[in-house]
């Protein structure tokens, strides 16, 4: 069976400051998982949703994620020496929206804490408890590189996914 080429309409453009919405829409064609990143601050737990997460290295175990520098939450995560990245399951969509609307959306919940005092969520598909290794310039975002101190994963469940600006589910067959 050969590769089938679609006759769908394609739109070519050169990214610049006048078409950032178009570029954002093109980025949105890449389906991603959804994460919640947590950190402990003097004000309590702070959380942010992020789809810009990726594995980097197995040895040493490293991951990255990219928070928006213009976010009011950015200073907390830029300074956080320790944080946890939680890969959300499809049944955690409500939690995703709660955190997306409010940096302190997890306050008041009975959360556990890891050895570094970072609040952690239960029931996620995976959790990566990290120590910040470096923060790099990534334009209007930062690239936060972390060493994975501990990881945990759920054996079953559908993934919460983000595609074309909408949430959905991905299930393995």
8 domain-assigned: no
Length of the chain as a residue count: 173
Q: What is the pLDDT of residues 81-93, one digit of tens each?
A: 999 999 999 999 9
Residue 18 belongs to a domain: no
For residue 2, pLDDT beyond 60 = no
What's this model's pTM, rounded to 2 decimal places? 0.89
Does residue 72 form part of some domain? yes
- Of 161, 52, 38, the C-alpha closest to 103 is 38
Q: Is residue 3 part of a domain?
A: no
Which residue matches tokens 């501990």?
150
Rounded to the nearest 5 degrees, what angle is found at the Cα of 166, between the Cα atoms of 165 and 172?
125
The CATH number for 99's domain is: 2.30.110.10
Residue 159 has pLDDT above 70, yes or no: yes
What is the arithmetic mean of pLDDT over 120-144? 96
Domain count, the chain: 1
Domain that holds residue 153: 32-161
**Is pLDDT at 7 greater than 80 in this prediction?**
no
**What's residue 167's pLDDT?**
87
Residue 168 domain-assigned (yes or no): no
- pLDDT at residue 4 is higher than 90: no
């Amino acid at each position: 069976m050969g590769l089938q080429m679609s006759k769908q309409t394609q739109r070519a453009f050169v990214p610049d400051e006048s078409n950032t919405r178009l570029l954002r829409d093109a980025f949105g064609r890449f389906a991603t998982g959804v994460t919640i990143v947590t950190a402990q601050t003097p004000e309590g737990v702070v959380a942010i949703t992020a789809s810009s997460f990726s594995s980097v290295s197995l040895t040493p175990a490293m991951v990255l994620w990219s928070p928006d520098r213009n976010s009011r939450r950015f200073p907390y995560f830029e300074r956080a020496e320790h944080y946890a990245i939680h890969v959300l399951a499809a049944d955690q969509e409500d939690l995703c929206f709660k955190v997306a609307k409010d940096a302190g959306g997890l306050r008041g919940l009975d959360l556990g804490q890891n050895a570094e005092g970072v609040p952690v969520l239960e029931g996620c598909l995976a959790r990566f408890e990290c120590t910040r290794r470096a923060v790099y310039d990534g334009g209007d975002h930062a690239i936060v590189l972390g060493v994975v101190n501990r990881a945990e994963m759920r054996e079953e469940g559908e993934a919460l996914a983000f595609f074309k600006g909408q949430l959905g589910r991905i299930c393995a067959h």
